[in-house]
Structure 1
Amino acid sequence: MGRAFEYRKAAKLKRWGAMSRIFPKLGRMITVAAREGGPDPEMNPKLRTAILNAKAQNMPKENIEAAIKRAQGKDAADIKEIAYEAKGPYGTLMFIECATDNPTRTVANVRAVLSRNGGELLTSGSLDFMFTRKAVFEFDDDGSVDLEELELELIDFGLEELERDKVPQESGEDKPIVRIYGEYAAFGELGRALEERGVAITKASLQRVPNMPLELDDAQMDEVSTLIDKLEEDEDVQVVYTNLS
């Protein structure tokens, strides 16, 4: 989505972490994963991923354990995962993934934010051919892993692409990382293969990758970033995927 956007994103997540605003979102992801696949992370790749991402945001261990326990309660059964499709300014397209116990409230809130910021909801299925689901993993590029060897080894586990990148930090320095893209259905197998090879995964997710990425200028990007920020301020919204390059 561009370096400026990633910097803003990193700064916002740090503020959320400090204010514990992001923890309820992470907790819902853990609860939903534990409800669907069981409370044992070793046997539940989705839960293992949710815990990994929670730890990356410094979520306390007791919060994680409490979220897993909530999966056994009656309230957990009311939480539903819903994805809304939307159009934003300048031809941007969005998948807005939510976890909610009240879809009526959530869709009303999402529609209101979109309408106030130059966007609108689309009919479900409108963007199916604009995005591809991918398994995405990241780890620090600290030189401890032979990337050429790793790439060859992971092809049999669903690897499609391995790339080096740099993620802006609030300190002003860029952190080098390695990003791996794999087949959607190979998420669990690919993640396990990385773990077995001693790779310290820092982020893992099932993402919607745009088939035709869109380029915007800085002013346009700032406007779209504001819309995404507003959407993700809603406690029911887990993540927003866009077609931005």
Structure 2
Amino acid sequence: MGRAFEYRRASKEARWDKMSKLFPKLAKAITVAAKEGGSDPDMNPKLRSAIATAKAQNMPKDNIDAAIKRASGKDSSDIKTIFYDGKAAHGVQIIVETATDNATRTVANVKAIFNKNGGEILPSGSLSFMFSRKAVFEVEIPAGDLEELELDLIDYGLELLEQSEDSLMIYGDYTSFGTLSDGIEKCNLTLKKGSLQYIPNSTITLSDEQLGEIEKLLDKLDDDDDVQAVYTNIE
């Protein structure tokens, strides 16, 4: 009984800890999207996708509404999306996406994380030719013919369709984000996540030991409040 209680409490605390880190990042993504393209999701595909991603993570509606409202407030005026390039051991390349109202603080934190965990921050744009900017959507696997769906989505900018155990991944050029978002809606697909991502043009394979070493750096980056996403060339 005691051990079961401790397990349940530890499990609940782990979920709370995850939400305490995840919800602020989701909220910031919503605020940035609303600031960039307006607060109407019907007219702003990036905001529509950010909201769908937040809902898929069970973020409360009040939090979502507050994040949208924050975009029109003076507090959001200085929030900017900034990318940082870096490298780590074993040929690992890293692009860090941040949303911040204080670039001086953010670059100092990101640089410190790299330096303390065997990495090195690079001049901005150093990895621009190593990665491609893509529109990436994750949807629930629909009933019906996937080949027919693929043909339909090509008209909206689809480049690649991949199926995993419980999701369908949709890839297109970053310029097709809006049209792909519309296509997903018109094809009645259930959106789980949608964002612009950096996809490596070539990947590397690491041993378990090497991966364990690199994961320390990646975990520290993920834990930073200003970091929205971390992209690597790891297979």
Is this a same-fold pair by TM over 0.5?
A: yes
Give the aligned partner of residue 168 of structure 2.
Answer: 178
How far apart, in 1, do the equivalents of 2:30 and 2:24 lie? 10
My pick for the range that moved more, 219-228 or 84-93, is 219-228
Out of 215, 228, 232, the residue aligned to residue 242 of structure 1 is: 232
Q: Give the equivalent residue in structure 1 for 2:73.
A: 73
- Provide the identity percentage: 57
Q: Report the residue type matching 2:53 in the other structure.
A: N
Number of aligned residues: 223
1:19 Cα deviation from its structure 2 partner: 4.3
Contact kept in structure 2, 1:17 and 1:57, CA below 8 Å: no
Matches within 5 A, 1:89-108: 89-108=89-108
For the Cα contact (< 8 Å) 2:53–2:191, is it kept in 1? no
Corresponding residue of 2:8: none
- 2:128 corresponds to which residue? 128
Runs of 4+ in 1 over 3 A off after TM superposition: 14-19
Partner of 1:171: none
The equivalent of 1:151 in structure 2 is 150
- Between the aligned partners of 2:130 and 2:18, the Cα distance in structure 1 is 35
Give the conservation status (yes or no) of the 8 Å contact 1:17–1:58.
no
Report the counterpart of residue 210 of structure 1 in structure 2: 200
Matches within 5 A, 1:27-42: 27-42=27-42
SS of corresponding position for 2:167: strand
Corresponding residue of 2:161: 162
Kindly state the Cα deviation for residue 113 of structure 1 after the two structures are TM-superposed.
Answer: 0.7
Distance between the aligned counterparts of 1:33 and 1:17, measured in 2? 25
Partner of 1:232: 222
What TM-score comes out, normalization by structure 1 length?
Answer: 0.87
Q: Deviations over 1:171-206 (max 9, x none)?
A: xxxxx2211111211111011111111111111111
Unaligned runs of 5+ in 1: 1-10, 167-175
Contact 1:162 1:178 survives alignment (8 Å): yes
Query: Do 1:87 and 1:119's aligned partners in 2 also have CA atoms closer than 8 Å?
Result: yes
1:53 aligns with 2:53: yes
Larger-gyration structure (1/2) = 2
Q: Contact between 2:174 and 2:196, CA under 8 Å: does it hold in 1?
A: yes
Q: Which secondary structure does the structure 1 equivalent of 2:184 belong to?
A: helix
Deviation at 1:16, TM superposition (A): 6.0
What is the Cα-based RMSD across aligned positions, in Å? Answer: 1.5
Tell me if structure 1 keeps the 8 A contact 2:136–2:171.
yes
Instruction: Please give the per-residue CA displacement for 1:17-63, whole angstroms capped at 9, x wherever unaligned.
Output: 65422111111111111111111100011111111111121111000
Residue in structure 1 matched with residue 111 of structure 2 by the alignment? 111
When normalised by structure 2's length, the TM-score is 0.91
How far has the Cα of 1:15 moved from its partner? 3.6
* Contact 2:140–2:189 under 8 Å retained in 1: no
